[in-house]
Amino acid sequence: MIMNILILSAGTRNKLVQYFNKELGNDGKIIATDCSELAPAVYEADKFYKVSRIDSPSYIDEVIEICKNEKVDTLFALIDPELSLIAKNIDRFHEIGVKPIISDYEAVELSFNKYEMFKFLEKNNIKTPKTYISLDDFLEDFNKKLITFPVFVKPVKGSASINITKINDKEELEFIMKKYDNLIIQEFMGGQEIGADVYIDMISNKVVSIFTKEKLKMRAGETDKSVSFKDEKLFNFIKNFVNKAGFKGIIDIDIFRINNEYYISEVNPRFGGGYPHAYEAGVNVPKMIINNINGIENEEQIGNYDDNVYMMKYNEVMIMKDIK
């Protein structure tokens, strides 16, 4: 069956476009968009559309028009601010026969509000760092010795580790909390940082794939070096969380391991920047997506990958002439 896939805001995600091209083969085409013609990943696709920025009032209309012109079957976005926009307009895509790979709007919004996510996790007895939106509430627990410095202060909504500040004492915390609005205070977590690439089948709504990696080095909020590993306890922990939260499609979860206990830190309802590690270790999410759009339910393959596989990112360049 011929299938056309639209990748929105492709940016520098060259590997991801390559993987979809490989899995689709000659059975369709990959179309990519970006607001800049200098986004290298778009030149890995069969066709590229330069579009307005996602905050433009015409943006969704432009994407809808591309879907109609290219007979798009499915699409997904790669940047956080766009996810809510796609989820909010999902009925418009369904009306023209396009099936976006995305969670429901409520789940997407939950992911992007760190305090609401904390409350959800706490309510469902899922371990997560202590989080405060009120300075007074934090100081009350601090005085009771329920939490200590250092702590992290970060925006209630945000991604890519932007504007995250490590705070070492009470005076510094009081200053920054009074100076800025819409901040949360989050417990500093030591231990091992872990990333999980998870696929929830779009037909069965079941978790069918989980890939986990220890993060060895981070850069600009993304995993720079990592090593794959397996732990049934962690797999069950993730399945329990996803089943309660109701996500769909591909999600990326940040987790901490402390004294052999797992804590969820953040959730991104999209492909994570470290997904190439999963693919190269044997976790073929593009194929799972293609199956779902073709009406094929994926069988569970949790942990079906090689452990002790290392990923090391490095810089590459693309040279183009006469870009217009």
pLDDT at 324 exceeding the cut of 80: no
Report pLDDT digits (tens) over 18-39. Answer: 999 999 999 999 999 999 999 9
Classify residue 283: in a domain, yes or no.
Answer: yes
CATH of the domain at 53: 3.40.50.20
Are both 8 and 29 inside the same structural domain?
yes
Start-to-end CA span in the chain (Å)? 34
Q: How confident is the model at residue 163 (pLDDT cuts 50, 70, 90)?
A: low
Q: 298 in a domain, yes or no?
A: yes
DSSP string, 230-281: --HHHHHHHHHHHHHHT--EEEEEEEEEETTEEEEEEEESS--TTHHHHHHH
Q: What is the mean pLDDT of the chain?
A: 95
Domain residue limits at 78: 3-102
Give the separation between CA 73 and CA 93, rounded to whole angstroms.
10
Give domain status of residue 111, yes or no: no
Domains held by the chain: number: 3
Contact 253, 198 (CB under 8 A): yes
Sheet-wide strand order for 249-258: 261-268, 249-258, 192-200, 207-219, 222-229, 310-312
Are 198 and 287 contained in the same domain? yes
Same domain, 155 and 201: no
CATH number of the domain to which 172 belongs? 3.30.1490.20
| Domain identity same for 64 and 167 | no
Give the span between the Cα atoms of 165 and 286, in whole angstroms: 36
Mean of pLDDT values over 140-154: 95
pLDDT of residue 218: 81
Q: Is the pLDDT of residue 149 over 80?
A: yes
Q: Is residue 32 part of a domain?
A: yes
Tokens of 271: 């492909």
> pLDDT digits over 187-242, tens only?
999 899 999 999 999 999 999 999 999 999 988 777 899 999 999 999 999 999 99
Q: Are the C-beta atoms of 197 and 278 separated by less than 8 Å?
A: yes
Residues 255 and 223 both lie in one domain: yes
Determine the pLDDT at residue 112. 94
Whether the pLDDT of residue 162 is over 70: the answer is no
Q: For residue range 263-322, what is the model confidence (pLDDT) as tens digits?
A: 999 999 999 999 999 999 999 999 999 999 999 999 999 999 999 999 999 999 999 888
pLDDT score of 158: 67
Cβ of 62: how many Cβ atoms within 10 Å? 15
Among residues 102, 118, 143, which one ends one of the domains? Answer: 102
- Count of other CB atoms within 10 angstroms of residue 142: 18
Q: For residues 27 and 248, give the distance between their C-alpha atoms in angstroms, rounded to a whole number.
A: 25
Residue 8 belongs to some domain of the structure: yes
Beta strands in the chain (DSSP E): 3-8, 28-34, 47-50, 74-77, 131-132, 151-155, 165-167, 183-187, 192-200, 207-219, 222-229, 249-258, 261-268, 310-312
pLDDT at 157: 85
Residue 123 located in a structural domain: no
Residue 125 lies inside a defined structural domain of this protein:
no
Domain CATH for 262 = 3.30.470.20
Q: Where residue 164 falls among pLDDT bands split at 50, 70, 90?
A: confident
At residue 126, what is the residue type?
I
| Domain co-membership, 182 together with 201 | no
Q: 31 in a domain, yes or no?
A: yes
Percent of the chain whose predicted confidence (pLDDT) is above 70? 98
For the stretch 79-104, pLDDT in tens is 999 999 999 999 999 999 999 999 99
Is residue 78 within 8 A of residue 6, CB to CB? The reply is no
User: Residues 143, 87: one domain?
Assistant: no
**Can you give the pLDDT at residue 323?**
83
Tell me the mean pLDDT in the region 114-136: 97
Closest CA to 188 of 121, 104, 130, 274: 130
